[in-house]
Chains A and B, each alone.
Chain A
Amino acid sequence: MWKFIVRRMLTTFPQLILLSVIIFLMAQAMPGDALTGLVDPNVDRAAIEEQREKLGLNDPWHIKYADWVSGLLQGDLGQSFRYKMDVTDLIEQRLINTFWLAVATLLFTYIIALPLGILSGRYNDTLLDSSITGYTYIGFATPLFIFALVMLWVFGYQLQWFPTGGSVAPGLEAGSMDYILSKVNHLLLPALSMALIQTVSTVQYLRSEIVDTKQKEFVVTARAKGASETRVYNRHIFRNSLLPIAAYFSYEITLLITGTIFVERIFSYPGMGQLFLDSIVQRDFSVVTAVVLLFGLAAILGALVSDIILSIIDPRIRIK
């Protein structure tokens, strides 16, 4: 298994390099550079040119790329034009916020998907199954941003069960119990909104996989041993049905990224998604680049994690 994991990790390097090249080229293609907007338009052009030379802005691309990558490795993501601060500092808190939002969403996604998928698959073609698949069809058909708005209106404004914006109530001391509870409270509604919509594909996958697996011959073998139906499902069908769910995990991560962009906007939740939209609107390109880079990184890591999970569940992958 270790051999597989090491090999799988090695393959992420070329992916990372490719990602960085693409993002670097993207950044290069964007109009302006570090000096644009910083200098007074009345300054002499020659002086600007001299400045550019000094800053290395006229270097050939591969030197600029090397500089950029070595900066990245030291945690230097450049300067935000808008906020006049290091992108790293700008992103830090938002990254943490988005991270917890994503974790909560994933948690809800699987808390909803596992029981629904299992029930629906085990009792397929019953009323219960029809209601669950009915829900998944509604989930497929409903756009996330409309659903999130409805949730916000119902639970935030009408019922007032949840806060309607921000990531924590103001005036609380960081690290205190109240602070943490407030953070969680702010997370719940956006995470739940996202999870309720995103979980439907996992429910569907799990359902069809269970329907498939329960016709396999080894399930008959288990029954012939005298295993009860509950045991047959828990020991034999469930684990074998998890394989595609694990494979789907990496896609789940990319869904999550697009999800946060909408949801953070709607709930005014200060995270990466909101930052991303803001900086596009404000043409804060160094921030856009940094956010895209992190999103790309998340997707690559998601794929890595999903393959490692697969190798743990499935011995056939391990040995290869």
Chain B
Amino acid sequence: MTQKLLEIKNLKTSFRIGDEYYAAVDDVSLTLNKNEVLGIVGESGSGKSALAFSIMGLHTRAKMEGNILFNGKDIVNISPAQLNQLRGDEMAMIFQDPLTALNPLMEIGAQISETLILHRPEMSQKERKDRVIELLTMVGIPRPEYVYEQFPHELSGGMRQRVIIAIAIANRPELLIADEPTTALDVTNQAQILDLIRKLKNDMGSGVILITHDLGVVAEMADRVAVMYAGQIVEIADVFTLFENPKHPYTRSLLTSVPAEGQDKLLVIQGIVPSLQHLPREGCRFAERIPWLDSSAHEEDPVLHEIEPGHFVRCTCYKHFHFQDEAKEAQVHGDTRSK
């Protein structure tokens, strides 16, 4: 049952700013199995979207190092033509913002058909249209024949996100990457879209990478979870372990900063997420957010430690970590440093 679908080894994706390259994804290694949902959690600037774009080969001006092995091919060193054969067919992506991810001048039907035209050229026009109608029905769009001829601006956000999902699943991809698929949606739509993704995954047996900042979404959807901070994975574990027994200071802080039952004061993580140019490149990247911990708690060159089977934590600081005194926390939450 655990068949490896995707294997990422020491991936480093860097962007050029001025004359220098800065790594947005730094030394990321992970695997994804068939029929598995891997959640990737992090705040903006954590590199989670850059990671997703790397897997799809969607960065146009980035330097990629390491390996992304998918179906025997390495996305890092693949030719554009080969990449185009994979994209939309064996791997597909669901995007964050349904308002901007569809071409405003193209009919819905044509936008879904395009991915069939590209990968199933043998289909007749009629077969294609039938398949598009079938897809629209699958993603729960009422009156698919009518929507087929509509334009994006005539649909609500939730409906547009369904269209984007229809595009992604058109060729039954083995790997589905969902980049914040529900962030732009209302709560009831969010629940429906998540249920839809889950159902489609079960039907197709695909591996899903679910990228989100919403811990609730991860808790409901993922089998395993990777937490990213400043371009690196800081903790990775199966979902139950991660929520019940989180180890890394960042994971623990994140879990305590969302409102929960009977919680009066939310935890605030000191400081701000550093921007790409200002990422600490040496030592533990989270160290400056937990300054009350002695520097000897951190590793000099932090690596992922497997503390129990399948549960990896970066740096040794988790062993010494404790939350800062709450009263004190409240005082300093108004950090006065500028970025």
Binding site for B on A (CB under 8 A): 216-218, 220-229, 231, 235-236, 239-240, 313-316, 319
Contacts and interface: CB of A to CB of B under 8 A. Distances in A.
A52 B297 CA distance: 107
Contact of B103 (A222, A226, A228): A222
Interface of B: 56, 58, 80-81, 84-89, 92-93, 95, 97, 100-106, 114-115, 118-119, 151, 153-154, 164, 167-168
B104 A240 contact: yes
B167 A218 contact: no
Contact of B58 (A220, A228, A240, A314): A220
For the complex, would chain A's binding face be called helix, strand, loop or mixed by DSSP majority? helix
B88 A224 contact: yes
A264 to B, nearest CB: 39
Most chain A beta-carbon neighbours within 10 Å: one of B84, B86, B92, B168: B84
Most chain A beta-carbon neighbours within 10 Å: one of B80, B87, B97: B87
Contacts of A240: 103-105
B103 A224 contact: no
A226 B119 contact: yes
Q: Which 8 A-B pairs have the closest CB atoms?
A: A226-B88, A225-B88, A226-B87, A225-B115, A217-B100, A315-B151, A218-B103, A226-B84
Contacts of B104: 218, 240, 314-316
Nearest to B164: A221
Contacts of B56: 224
Contacts of B106: 236
B285 to A, nearest CB: 28
A319 B167 contact: no
B101 A316 contact: no
B8 to A, nearest CB: 18
A240 B89 CA distance: 26
B167 A225 contact: yes
5 contacts: A223-B87, A224-B95, A226-B89, A226-B118, A236-B106
A220 B101 CA distance: 8
Given A222-B114, A314-B104, 12 more contacts: A217-B100, A218-B100, A220-B58, A224-B93, A226-B85, A226-B86, A228-B84, A229-B80, A236-B106, A239-B105, A240-B104, A316-B153
